[in-house]
Structure 1
Amino acid sequence: MNTLDFHLDGLKPADESPGYAYNHPWENDFQLISRHDVGERSFIIAFDKTATWDYPNKANIVSFDIDRDSSRGLFSMHREQHATFVFAQNWLINRSCPPNALAPVFEIPRPADELSLRVEDRIRRSGESLEVADYRVIDSSDTEGWSIAVDSQAKELPVRLFLETLQPDQFTYTVREGAFADHSAADYWLEHRSAPLPEPPEYRRDADALRTSAALARSTTVPAVTAAGVLAAASAATAALSQPDRGQSL
């Protein structure tokens, strides 16, 4: 069991609002998943053990940003609940936690393929452009969860569905991103599953760019310097788009 310690002994909350005592989290309600300490500041991701017997579909991942001022005997705490680990990472990264500093402290299911890694990295580094509007958590015997988010940076189909599917026997999972015009369209797809998860327009543009780069690289009329640049771009694009089944749900 990975215990959680906020290291608040002898400190008082900087915010003495009347609701603080009610909202203050109890450390033994959480199981530590990831932690990064910088001086007197802690970035923490934990599993909320109370979520399983609270209201249905309660977000069970919690991120904490704790800032201590031992010279004044004070601390501040900000927290947010999430349906998935990667969105918890995103929230802390947006609060200045280093992007690569939140590895789990124990073994958890690992991404099953390169596309899952790419989709998670997109979420992790998306800044505040993805605003989660709805979700379904993975809990107990569930093998599927999802988050619906609005992408403020998307020029087309701004509602994005991030579908996470577990493979318990292999201790892995996949994450796929789908793009929709609005929330109701995403809900309809989730309910009916009558077609593959529609891939984001950016995926198609990246594929077109790869084909164009490859065609230019084969041309004998391209000047040497330009050809070298195109070949480098094609190599990078090939590595980024090496998963042939992108955009497909399981």
Structure 2
Amino acid sequence: MNDVLDFDLDDLSPVDDASEEEMETFWAGDLTVLSRHHTTPNGSHSFVLAHDRSVTWGIPGEPQLVAIAVARDLRQATFTFETSHHATASFAQNWLAERGCPLDRIALRGGDYIEPADDLTVQVEQQIQKSGTRYEVLDTYTSDYDPSEAWTLVRDSHAAQAPVRLFYEEWNHDAGTYTMRESAFADVGVAQTWLDERSGPLLEPPEYSDHNGAVVRARIARIALARSAGASATPQTGLDAPRTTAAAPVQRPVQGRLL
């Protein structure tokens, strides 16, 4: 499989300064492609989710996942080029979905991908992926080693109570699984105190216990039914994700969700 990122832009010009600047600073050699989708038949759009290996040698805590969206205007011979860095795959997928990429085309499930540990993890991820512009990202952090975690701190425009939300992802290397949890705080200061001290368990959002809690539980039940029926193991279409064989093991980036 060819993992080289070639967006076929040689005969096109950037439509604006922002696209030109993105192209000038973009370096595909540092990326491990996790999933990609190209529209057909004319190939006017490309969407990529990748792990940026260079970040692991940079400033500690920086987000390691990069989402890339390319739109080509073949009649005008121009293109737009956008990139966005994220701490977790679900926020990167949300960003790509907002630019027109179907979520099922950039899913990270099956094969060599590390799996969600439980149905609540799947529910929280789907909530993020389909949230549109609901969440304003305030801060992120990624740690490859002890603890192996990534979190995204946001302001939830839909929250009537405790509008500052923490989406916390943690990996279990031995089990080959990860969990994602949502926690709610009154303000950024309280959230930061919890992150600094870790003095207690994460606090569930208020809606988990009010009348909306029934909706949350119903969604988790549907996810559990689908997973037990083998839906999560269904081969994905439209993906071009890395694969390994027993004869040729390859080191996989944990943050990129690969074993």
Question: What TM bracket, shorter-length normalisation?
Answer: 0.7 to 0.9
Using a 3 Å threshold, how does the CA distance of structure 1 residues 115 and 208 change in structure 2: closer, same or farther? closer
Deviates more, 1:72-81 or 1:120-129: 72-81
TM-score normalised by L of structure 2? 0.75
Q: Superposition pairs for residues 202-221 of structure 1, below 5 Å?
A: 202-206=207-211, 209=214
1:111-126 paired onto structure 2 within 5 Å: 111-126=116-131
Matches within 5 A, 1:56-135: 56-104=60-108, 107-135=112-140
Judged with a 3 Å threshold, the aligned counterparts in structure 2 of structure 1 residues 178 and 236 are, in CA distance, closer, same or farther, namely closer
- Confirm or deny that 1:175 pairs with 2:180: yes
Q: Deviations over 1:131-184 (max 9, x none)?
A: 111111133564122111110111110000111110001110001110000011
Match of 2:221 in 1: 239
Aligned to 1:148: 153
Shift of the alpha carbon at 1:77? 0.5
Q: Among residues 190, 193, 209, which one is paired with 1:188 in the alignment?
A: 193
RMSD: 2.7
Contact 1:207-1:241 within 8 A present in 2 as well = no
Aligned to 1:54: 58
Q: Secondary structure at the match of 1:28?
A: helix
Matching residue's letter, 2:142: V
Q: 1:162 to 1:18 in 2, by over 3 A?
A: closer
- In structure 1, C-alpha distance between the alignment counterparts of 2:223 and 2:76, rounded to whole Å: 52
CA distance in 1: counterparts of 2:175 and 2:90, whole angstroms: 20
What SS does structure 2 have at the residue aligned with 1:176?
strand
Q: Provide the rounded CA distance (Å) in 2 between the counterparts of 1:128 and 1:238.
A: 23
In structure 2, give the amino acid aligned to 1:137. T
Aligned to 1:29: 30
> Structure 1 residues 179, 208: closer, same or farther in 2, change over 3 A?
closer
Which structure is larger by alpha-carbon Rg, 1 or 2? 1
Residue 33 of structure 1: how far off its partner (Å): 1.0
State the structure with bigger RCO (CA 8 A, min sep 6), 1 or 2: 2
For the 8 Å contact 2:51–2:64, the answer to whether it is kept is yes
Q: Distance in 1 between matches of 2:220 and 2:31?
A: 42
Equivalent-residue separation in structure 2 for 1:58 and 1:200 (angstroms): 26
Would the aligned equivalents of 2:66 and 2:84 in 1 still touch at CA under 8 Å?
A: yes
Consecutive unaligned residues in structure 2, runs of 5 or more: 225-259
Q: After TM superposition, where is structure 1 displaced by more than 3 Å over at least 4 residues in a row?
A: 16-19, 21-24, 206-210, 235-238
Deviation at 1:207, TM superposition (A): 7.1
Which whole-Å CA distance do the structure 1 matches of 2:22 and 2:59 have between them?
21
Counterparts of 1:3 and 1:141, CA distance in 2: 32
How far apart are residue 2 of structure 1 and its match?
A: 3.4
Moved more, 184-193 or 127-136: 184-193
Alpha-carbon distance between aligned partners in 1 of 2:183 and 2:65, rounded to the nearest angstrom:
23
Instruction: Tell me the TM-score normalised to structure 1 length.
Output: 0.78
- Whether the 8 Å contact between 1:149 and 1:159 is mirrored in structure 2 is yes
Give how far 1:191 is off: 2.2
What per-residue deviation string (whole Å, max 9, x for no partner) do you get for residues 44-77 of structure 1?
1111121112222221111111011234332110
In the alignment, what sits opposite 1:248?
A: none
> Contact 1:4/1:31 (CA < 8 Å) preserved in 2?
no
- Relative to 1, partners in 2 of residues 1:238 and 1:143: Cα closer, same or farther, differing over 3 Å? closer
Given the superposition, is the C-alpha separation of residues 101 and 177 from structure 1 closer, same or farther in structure 2, using an over 3 Å criterion?
Answer: same
The more displaced of 166-175 and 19-28 is: 19-28
